[in-house]
Every structure is written in structure tokens, then in C-alpha cells.
């Protein structure tokens, strides 16, 4: 098979091709190594690991030859550079982790390798996952492979898992791991026209994932199809006693849940998600999605999630409070960057000033402020109460409906520099995604249409805790009905 043909296969197809020995894992991986190199201008990867990938592919080929294939044997995937990978640089997109090579492998990536997957490299991201545009990385911005027709300005891929989203969209990986703290898997998936799932909190272990906000960080899969995401989730999920917040629940067969049957399923449509300033085409796509699901036998139900408008401020208080504490360990003492100073305090100050970018510094400052004596009750404690109420909103809604359909983001991808420099405006891009992080419930973004200027738009399906099956089942029906077949302007190997 030619490289472009190999690269055009999705994960499930590649898995079948490997099983039927139409090509070897080595051939597939070599094609992807070339694709990673070809896609370099997009800056999706911080650290490609081509030789590592070939060695893993050869091991997969040996297992395939013996008929001992593992679930993801020979599947080349990208890893967001927030997952620690043993002896391979792990940067979190930050200068402060300069030279850091973890002596351990994160739980989720370890599971991927145990399942036979092949690591293509570590993907770019907003620094420590803090951003919605992938413009805060020390390793430079990532470019979206999509362009507006007739407009050559590069667009952002969304964030923070922008590198992973671009790698998958540009055929420079079959799938990728991401993390989602306030939409960091779903929003870039929406911007890049791929599928991204934030699982239930506790479904995938956080052990070995560089922490942004512990109670909100969710590792999860990104891929080109819902089925591929289901396959990836099966390999990434599972209880991990090393993570106290990991849930001791069984791993269902997510792929088997994709039976296309949503007959009688009740789909909630929350009225609070019609926010001011949302483009009409997104509203229209949402209505279209409701129509598609109704035609497939589901029953749309208007619901109310009254606390939605408080989600964003509560999220930014809790996330930044936790971040300010989680990032205290980057002090120049034990690993990463150190800038020497005349005193201990000066070493701290110089190291952290040089090591953290502006957005990270802003968030650490805000987080420190909201936890300070005299402000704790007004900010952090109140935000936690709001969080409880938001979780209650979802719990009540799920007494009446089986899942909830909303847009993923209030906009399509925007051009670098198109967004105002007001950070609040950037934070507003998370308005539809943060409630699921606060409540810990699973949510997936599926590409469902294109904007007036030809950019992908995603719809989001949110479900009950530990009911990823329903979320994925509905997503697959939506994917099939929407028949989203667009490709970005750039794909590695060329548009076939």
C-alpha cells in the first residue's frame, strides 16, 4: 500500500489491515514517521521518537506473526507531552521542565504500550495545559491543518491538546492521548474536525500525568472516528491503585456499545446553552443534530441546567487554585530549569520567572490570590459550592434524560491574533466544556458540520458518570448521520 493510502486508514481499518497482514506494523509506522516529518511545519510534535516507534513496531510485528496480537498492536499513536514517558523528554510545553526525562512511565501510556501501541512522539500543547489556542507553549504555537478557503492566515488548533488534535487531523498519527481540564480534548477536536472524548473522572489514571488541576484533569483519547476513540479508551481506562481518585470499576467493551441503536433514548437539550453572541451557524448545527437524533429514534427533551452560567467563574477559581499549588514543585531544586541567584529566594524567583510563560504566571498568581487568607471563603469555598450545584444540575437532568446534546464550543477555529488580547475572552471559549469537568461526567465532541467559512464544528454529547457507552453510541449515530467527510487543507501524504 502507498503511504497516502496507509495514512488515510482510520485506526479500526489499520487494525484490520494488520490482522489480515495487508501491511506490517513496521510499514505502517514508517509511513507515519514520514508523516510526522512532513507535518513538521504545523509544529504538532515537540519530540518525535521515530526510532523508538520502529522498535515498538518490530516487536508488534513479531507478536502479529506469532498470532499473539494485542488489542492495539502496531497502531502508531501520539502522546500529549503532559504524559510522563520513561527516559524520553517530557516538557509540559514549559521551559521549566528543560532537560527533564522522567524515570517512570505514566499509567495511561504504559497501558497503551502494554496493548501494543507504537509511540510516534510527544505532542505540543499549551504550557501545562493552560490555554484554549495552543499559543502558550514554550515550543511555539501549533498550526491547524485547516484553513479558511481563500484565506491563507494560519488558524489555531484549539487547546490545550492542540498538538495531539493536529497530529490526528493531519494524518500524522492514527490516534492520540490528550488531557481535558476544561475542554482541552473536546475543543481542539472540534476545531480540527476529529473526535475527542473526556471520560468520567476516575476512568483513566492520572498517575504520571503532569498535573494542572488535579480534581479537573481527565486523560482521554482523540482519534478520527468514534469507533477509534472507543478502541483507544478501552486500552487507556482502568483502575490504578497509585491514583487515589481512580475508580475501581470494570472496563466495559466500549466498541461493542456502538450498536447504532438509540431508539427511545432521551436526549436532553439544555436551554441555558443558548449563549449570547454564539454564531447562528452553530445554533443551526445544534438544531440539525437534534433533528438527526430524532430521526434515528431518540427523543429530544428540553431540560434546564440552571447553574451553567456560574460554571466558568467557578472553574477558573478551582482550576487556578489547584494549579498554583501543583506548580509549586517547579522550584529549580530537583529537576528541570534552574537559574542561579544570590539567595534561595532569588533562585526561586529567577527560575520561575524564566521558566513559566505569561499565561502560567497569570494563573499561578490568580490561584494564589483566591486561596489567600481573607479571600478563601469568598472565592475558593464559594466556587466549590457552585461546583456541587453544577453536579446536582447534571444529576437531576440525568433522572429525566440519558444524555445531553450541545455544541462543543461557541466558535470555530480562529486565526492567530484574531482573538483579543483579553484573556477573559479566551476563557469564554470553554463555556460549553467546563461544566462536564466540574461534574466529572463523560463528554465527547464529534465533528458534525462545517462553518460558513469551511471550518469544522463539533457537537458534544454528555452522559452519566461511567456511562461512556451511551455517550459513544449516540456519538457514533451522530457521526454516521452527519456524514462528515471533509479533510483539512493539509494532510500528510496528500489528499488522496
Partner 1 sequence: MTESRTEAWETVIGLEVHSQVVSKAKLFSGAATVFGAEPNTQVSPIDAAFPGMLPVINRFCVEQAVKTGLGLAAEINLRSVFERKNYFYPDLPAGYQISQYLQPVVGHGRVSLDLPDGTVREVGITRLHLEQDAGKSLHDQHPALTYVDLNRAGVALMEIVSEPDLRSAEEAGLYLRKLRSILRYLGTCDGNMEEGSLRCDANVSVRRPGAPMGTRCEIKNVNSIRFVMQAIEYEARRQIELLEEGGRVEQQTCLFDVGRGITRPMRSKEEAHDYRYFPDPDLLPLVLDPDWVERIRASLPELPDAKKARFMSQYGLSTDDAGVLVAEKETAVYFERAAQGRDAKVAANWVVGDLFGAVNRLGIGIGQSPVSASQLGALIDLIADGTISGRLAKDVFAEMVASRADPTAIVEAKGLRQVTDSTAIEAAIDTVLAAQADKLAEYRAGRDRLYGFFVGQIMRATKGKANPALVNQLLKKKLAG
Contact between 254 and 468 (Cβ < 8 Å): yes
Nearest distance in Å: CB 213, partner 1: 7
Burial 46-78 (b: 16+ CB within 10 A, else e): bbbbbebbbebbebbbeebeeeebbbbbbbbbb
At its nearest, how many Å lie between partner 1 and the CB of residue 374? 9
Instruction: Calculate the CA 187 to chain-centre distance.
Output: 8
- The span from the CA of 253 to the CA of 478, in Å, is 20
Residue 184 falls in the annotated catalytic set: yes
> Can you tell me the distance from the alpha carbon of 446 to that of 228, in angstroms, rounded to the nearest whole number?
12
Question: Which residues lie closer than 8 Å to 20 by C-beta, 6 or more apart?
Answer: none
Task: Sort 496 into a burial class: Cβ within 10 Å, 0-12 / 13-18 / 19+.
Answer: exposed
Nearer to partner 1, 33 or 94 (CB): 94
Residue 110 vs 479, nearer CB to partner 1: 110
How far is residue 143's CA from residue 158's CA, in Å, rounded to a whole number? 9
Distance of closest approach, residue 128 Cβ to partner 1, in angstroms: 10
Contact 278, 397 (CB under 8 A): no
Catalytic annotation present for 325: no
Q: Which of 24, 80, 111, 133 is catalytic?
A: 80
Residue 80 among the catalytic residues: yes
10 Å CB burial of residue 424 (0-12, 13-18, 19+) is: exposed
The residue among 310 and 348 lying less far from partner 1, judged by its C-beta, is 348
Closest Cα to residue 475, out of 252, 298, 336, 350? Answer: 298
Instruction: Please state, in angstroms and rounded to a whole number, the distance separating the CA atoms of residues 361 and 365.
Output: 6
Q: How far is the CB of 45 from partner 1 (least distance, A)?
A: 20
For partner 1, the closer of residues 256 and 353 by Cβ is: 353
> Looking at 24, 161, 184, 190, which residue is catalytic?
184
- Three-state secondary structure call for residue 227: helix
Q: Residue 123's Cα: distance from chain center in Å?
A: 12
Rounded distance, CA 234 to CA 230, Å? Answer: 6
DSSP 155: B
Binding stretches for partner 1 (CB under 8 A): 83-84, 90, 92, 97, 100, 102-104, 106, 206-211, 213-215, 241-245, 321-322, 324-325, 328-329, 331, 333-335, 344, 348, 368, 371-373, 376, 380
- What's the distance, Cα to Cα, between the start and end of the chain in Å? 13
- Min dist CB 215 to partner 1, Å, is 4
Closest separation between CB of residue 182 and partner 1, Å? 15
Rank residues 230 and 320 by Cβ distance to partner 1 and give the closer one: 320
Beta strand 118-123 pairing with 195-198: unpaired
State which H helix or E strand residue 116 sits in: none
Q: How far is the CB of 22 from partner 1 (least distance, A)?
A: 38
Q: Which is nearer to partner 1, 207 or 286 (CB)?
A: 207
Q: Residue 402 to residues 16, 301, 412, 418, 467: CA-CA distances in angstroms? A: 32, 10, 27, 38, 9
Nearest Cα residue to 406 out of 439, 440, 450, 443? 443
Catalytic: which of 94, 133, 160, 177? 160
- Tell me how many degrees the CA angle 477-479-484 measures, rounded to the nearest 5: 150
Rounded to the nearest whole angstrom, what is the least distance from the CB of residue 388 to partner 1 in the complex?
13
Across-strand partners of 223?
175, 195
Least Å from the CB of residue 373 to partner 1 = 5
Which is closer to partner 1, CB of 106 or CB of 308?
Answer: 106
Q: Which is nearer to partner 1, 231 or 319 (CB)?
A: 319
Q: Is the peptide bond before 160 cis (omega within 30 degrees of 0)?
A: yes
Q: Which is nearer to partner 1, 85 or 445 (CB)?
A: 85
Q: Point out the residues that are catalytic.
A: 80, 160, 184
Amino acid at each position: 500500500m502507498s503511504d497516502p493510502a496507509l495514512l488515510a486508514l482510520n485506526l479500526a481499518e489499520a487494525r484490520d489491515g494488520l490482522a489480515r497482514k495487508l501491511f506490517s506494523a513496521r510499514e505502517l509506522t514508517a509511513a507515519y514517521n514520514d508523516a510526522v516529518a512532513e507535518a513538521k511545519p504545523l509544529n504538532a510534535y515537540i519530540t518525535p521518537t521515530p526510532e523508538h516507534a520502529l522498535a515498538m513496531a518490530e516487536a508488534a510485528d513479531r507478536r502479529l506473526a506469532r498470532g499473539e496480537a494485542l488489542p492495539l498492536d502496531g497502531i502508531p499513536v501520539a502522546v500529549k507531552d503532559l504524559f510522563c514517558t520513561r527516559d524520553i523528554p517530557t516538557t509540559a510545553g514549559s521551559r521549566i521542565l528543560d532537560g527533564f526525562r522522567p524515570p517512570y512511565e505514566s499509567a495511561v501510556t504504559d497501558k497503551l504500550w502494554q496493548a501494543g501501541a507504537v509511540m510516534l512522539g510527544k505532542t505540543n500543547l499549551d504550557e501545562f495545559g493552560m490555554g484554549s489556542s495552543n499559543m502558550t507553549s514554550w515550543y511555539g504555537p501549533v498550526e491547524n491543518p485547516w484553513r479558511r478557503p481563500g484565506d491563507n492566515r494560519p488558524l489555531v488548533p484549539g487547546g490545550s491538546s492542540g498538538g495531539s488534535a493536529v497530529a490526528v487531523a493531519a494524518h500524522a498519527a492514527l490516534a492520540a492521548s490528550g488531557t481535558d481540564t476544561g475542554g482541552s480534548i473536546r475543543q481542539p477536536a472540534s476545531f480540527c474536525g476529529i473526535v475527542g472524548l473526556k471520560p468520567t473522572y476516575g476512568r483513566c489514571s492520572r498517575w504520571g500525568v503532569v498535573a494542572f488541576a488535579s480534581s479537573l484533569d481527565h486523560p482521554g483519547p482523540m482519534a478520527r472516528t468514534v469507533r477509534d476513540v472507543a478502541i483507544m479508551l478501552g486500552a487507556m481506562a482502568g483502575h490504578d491503585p497509585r491514583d487515589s481518585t481512580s475508580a475501581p470499576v470494570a472496563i466495559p467493551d466500549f466498541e461493542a456499545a456502538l450498536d447504532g441503536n438509540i431508539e427511545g433514548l432521551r436526549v436532553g437539550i439544555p436551554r441555558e446553552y443558548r449563549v449570547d453572541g454564539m454564531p447562528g451557524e452553530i445554533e443551526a448545527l445544534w438544531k440539525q443534530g437534534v433533528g438527526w437524533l430524532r430521526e434515528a429514534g431518540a427523543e429530544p427533551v428540553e431540560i434546564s441546567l440552571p447553574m451553567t452560567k456560574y460554571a466558568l467563574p467557578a472553574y477558573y477559581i478551582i482550576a487556578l487554585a489547584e494549579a498554583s499549588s501543583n506548580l509549586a514543585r517547579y522550584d529549580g531544586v530537583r529537576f528541570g530549569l534552574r537559574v542561579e541567584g544570590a539567595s534561595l529566594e532569588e533562585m526561586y524567583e529567577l527560575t520561575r520567572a524564566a521558566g513559566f510563560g505569561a499565561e502560567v504566571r497569570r494563573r499561578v498568581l490568580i490561584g494564589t490570590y483566591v486561596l489567600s487568607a481573607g479571600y478563601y471563603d469568598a472565592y475558593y469555598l464559594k466556587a466549590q459550592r457552585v461546583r456541587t450545584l453544577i453536579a446536582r444540575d447534571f444529576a437531576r437532568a440525568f433522572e429525566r434524560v440519558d444524555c445531553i446534546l450541545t455544541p462543543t464550543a461557541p466558535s470555530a477555529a480562529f486565526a492567530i491574533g484574531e482573538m483579543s488580547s483579553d484573556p477573559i475572552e479566551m476563557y469564554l471559549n470553554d463555556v460549553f466544556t467546563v461544566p462536564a469537568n466540574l461534574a466529572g461526567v463523560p463528554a465527547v465532541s464529534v465533528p458534525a458540520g462545517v462553518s460558513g467559512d469551511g471550518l469544522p464544528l463539533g457537537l458534544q454529547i454528555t452522559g452519566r458518570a461511567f456511562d461512556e457507552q451511551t455517550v459513544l453510541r449516540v456519538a457514533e449515530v451522530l457521526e454516521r448521520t452527519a456524514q462528515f467527510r471533509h479533510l483539512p487543507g493539509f494532510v500528510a501524504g496528500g489528499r488522496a
